Amino acid sequence: MKSKKLFRELLLTWHREKNKRTMPWKGEKDPYKIWLSEIILQQTRVDQGLNYYHRFIEEFPGIHQLAQAPEERVFKLWEGLGYYTRCKNLIATAKNISQNLNGHFPVNYDAILALKGIGPYTAAAIGSFAFNLPYAVVDGNVFRVLARYFAIATPIDSTEGKRQFTDLAHELLDKNLPGEYNQALMDFGATICKPQIPLCSDCPLKKNCKAYLRQSVSEYPVKEKTITKKSRWLYYVVAEYKGSVFVRKRGAKDIWENLYEFLLSEQKEAVSAEKVLPDFFSKNGSSLEVYSIDHISAVYKQQLTHQTICGQFIKIQLSRPVSFTGYEKVKINHLAELPFPKFITTYLKDKSVSLNLF
């Protein structure tokens, strides 16, 4: 028990005297802004999410404005952040709070946790920062700091490990200052007890850190699972006719839900881009004589958590009107208004592409 009390005291002292990490939402008491920052930072680095946070706050200063915004506009602002289910849940929760709770966030943990897109970590963050509720945040930073300090060999991705670390985090929590303590622990993991090359020489906890004393810091935290990644090949046909191209909104149960894409031919492996077109047009009941190829792009790649997306873009000109089931025509100069996945915006931003819109 003494070691746990010492851990808490040393951590809070470091936070008050040494922690120089600044972020616009630190010290924030508005649950809307805290919630927005936490959703943006899920699966996202702070330096990447910072500008998104500022843009969202500027355009949607309150939850009513976010709830009433066209969904396409919200997805457009989110464009490039990835993990688009977060954005979908953000919209759903904003509408729920705006319409059913008069724009007021619930003030107890269980009610916050019941909101769409909010898990235990986010609920603890909102509850402790906005309402001083005594709930500990438990994320990757917390797993890492606790695993090293107490030399816990239980895998953090196991059921037992998640329970053990969650229980320990709640034991360590300063119940009188939960928001300050949670912020201190998160910042400490991000700036001192980092995943790679931790700053052990500057660590105020090192005299009592079991992993440091055993010279085994790099061995913690322990994981038991490895992620199996697959590759997908996406060939996009950018079919232009009189200043318009064909696009569609992606549906549910796959990556990039609610974002737009061009005509798509997905292959199990890499193929010649030229071979995609005859098969694509025949499946859509169109003659091969209706198009000419403008260019074929280089191969683009994007690494997602569980899969690698590879593919190319084939720009063609149509010689007469053609329809494609499930797709709509959009003027090229309106494409910049639509939300696209990063895989496609990277192509559109390419200076060598005639569709350069960004």
Q: Name the residues annotated as catalytic.
A: 38
Closest CA to 238 of 167, 165, 292, 286: 292
118 φ/ψ angles, rounded to the nearest 5 degrees: -110, 120
CA 226 to CA 223: how far, in whole Å? 8
CB count within 10 Å of CB 262 equals: 23
Query: In sequence order, what are the beta bridge partners of 249?
Result: 260
Distance CA 75, CA 79 (A): 6
Q: Are 81 and 40 a contacting pair, CB within 8 Å?
A: yes
Per the CB < 8 A criterion, the answer to whether 129 and 183 are in contact is yes
> Which residues make Cβ contacts (< 8 Å) with residue 217, sequence separation at least 6?
148, 198, 200, 209, 211
140-149 helix and 159-172 helix, angle to the nearest 10 degrees: 80
- CA 109 to CA 130: how far, in whole Å? 11
